Structure 1
Amino acid sequence: MERRNFIFEVRAKEDEDGATLEGRPIVYDSRTDLGWFDEIIENGALKETDLKDVRFLVNHDTTMIPLARSRNNNKNSTMQLVVDKDGMGIRVKLDTENNTDARNLYSAVKRGDISGMSFMFSIDDEEWEDLESDHPTRRIHKIGTVIEVSAVTFPAYESTEINARCKSTLDSARSALENARSNEKSLDSDVLELLKQKNRNFILGGI
């Protein structure tokens, strides 16, 4: 599982459902600098994603009770997910009357103290470009599952701040890059060995 944060507005408002939050935790075709590489979530990456059970948290804190939940994205869920041409948006119904944490979050978003979204996901299909360079690009073609989305205090990905703000994101990014480069070297080695074997067979066949 990996985490990604974005500086996209989270809005707080009152409507017929009471206190609600709206935001967009997943955005297509947006180049993000993860410090070790750039990453782009390709348009359509959510087409076959498992969204059967997604929680809504604050700062990915799984030790706290979820403030909302989407189960099969049915109309009775306290969080609605909308996959469209731009990525995925959410609409969260908060129980500000009975839940102190929900009331605190609603107030923080309304005041502008919390302004970012994040999500935790798995990757089913990806492509790397310019792995030999100092700053390659990773294109995510297919997201396998999304297990939670969060309102986050520090949504920025700037490389100058990523160490202090989201060490787990930095570690997962570095690990992903190392794995990709290792796989490429292994593939190159296999291809080279195959060519050597073909060359030996050609020489023996000509004798």
Structure 2
Amino acid sequence: MTDFEKRGGVHGVETRADDGKKTLIGYAAVFNSDTTIGDYFIERIAPTAFDKAIKGDVRALVDHDTGRVIGRTKSGTLRLAVDERGLRVEIDVPDTADGRDLWTLVERGDISGMSFGFRVTKQEWDETGDLPKRTVLEVELYEVSACAFPAYDDTELGMRDLNSARQEAEALAAERDKRAKDAAAAARRVAEKRATMEQKIRGIRQG
């Protein structure tokens, strides 16, 4: 998947055990928190980013490894919610090798971060500051992960999006410039025709 991106942070992962069910709780994303991506641009996740995405079929993974599934929204073992802080995640940890290992690592504090895999479907760029700022407005969400090293990578994808935004802005500016020039040329033609007509009228009156 060429436009698949990963982001995350050490926002904290909690453990909760009720009636034998073990649940991990944390935030895969925090809203309106600026993050510098590879010293190339600043990224901010808008509160609207996951409104549609959490309604899809999303997996919970360990370290973005698709072979290590530990939950899924479709089965109810992964629950996603958007609140004032960000994208809240609850994972009912399975009684598998991955699940048991993950639970132990979180309890020990060895794993304390969460991340998410996504594709941007709507964004805005602002280049008025020292670094371009990307505001992610809407995404397709594929997975959330418990991670030892939450990812802030895929700078090439972000730069590609920035270049696309620049090209689109340049095309719009060129189109606006062309329309302005066409309008000015049309106005000149009208003025010339009017002047020619007035000259003919004066000639007729003088004759």
TM-score of Structure 1 vs Structure 2, range by shorter chain: 0.7 to 0.9
Deviation at 1:93, TM superposition (A): 0.7
- 8 Å CA contact 2:28, 2:116 repeated in 1: yes
Instruction: Answer with 1 or 2: which has the greater Rg.
Output: 2
Per-residue CA shift, 1:90-149, capped at 9, x if unaligned? 1111113xx111111111111111111111223333221126x551111223x2421110
Distance in 2 (alpha carbons) for counterparts of 1:17 and 1:185 = 59
- 8 Å CA contact 2:61, 2:69 repeated in 1: yes
Deviation at 1:21, TM superposition (A): 0.8
Q: RMSD in angstroms over aligned alpha carbons?
A: 1.9
Aligned length: 188
Is the partner of 1:186 in helix, strand or coil? helix
Distance in 1 (alpha carbons) for counterparts of 2:65 and 2:151 = 18
TM-score by length of 2: 0.82
The answer to whether the aligner puts 1:120 opposite 2:117 as a matched pair is yes
The answer to whether the aligner puts 1:38 opposite 2:35 as a matched pair is no
Indicate which of 20, 24, 28 corresponds to 1:21: 24
- 8 Å CA contact 1:51, 1:147 repeated in 2: no
Per-residue CA shift, 1:141-191, capped at 9, x if unaligned? 3x242111011221264xxxxxxxx4xx22222222222222211221111
Instruction: Name the counterpart of 2:87.
Output: 88
Seq. identity, %: 32
Is the partner of 1:67 in helix, strand or coil? strand
Deviation at 1:25, TM superposition (A): 0.5
Instruction: Name the counterpart of 1:107.
Output: 104
- 8 Å CA contact 1:9, 1:23 repeated in 2: yes
Instruction: Name the counterpart of 2:180.
Output: 195
Per-residue CA shift, 1:10-36, capped at 9, x if unaligned? 122322252221111121111111121
TM-score by length of 1: 0.82
2:28 maps to amino acid? P
Indicate which of 148, 156, 164 corresponds to 1:153: 148
More helix per residue: 2
Consecutive unaligned residues of structure 1, counting only runs of 5 or more, are 158-165
1:84 maps to amino acid? D
Instruction: Name the counterpart of 1:47.
Output: 51
2:87 maps to amino acid? M
1:42 maps to amino acid? A
Deviation at 1:194, TM superposition (A): 1.4
Indicate which of 40, 58, 68 corresponds to 2:71: 68
- 8 Å CA contact 2:54, 2:80 repeated in 1: no
Instruction: Name the counterpart of 1:161.
Output: none
Instruction: Name the counterpart of 1:162.
Output: none
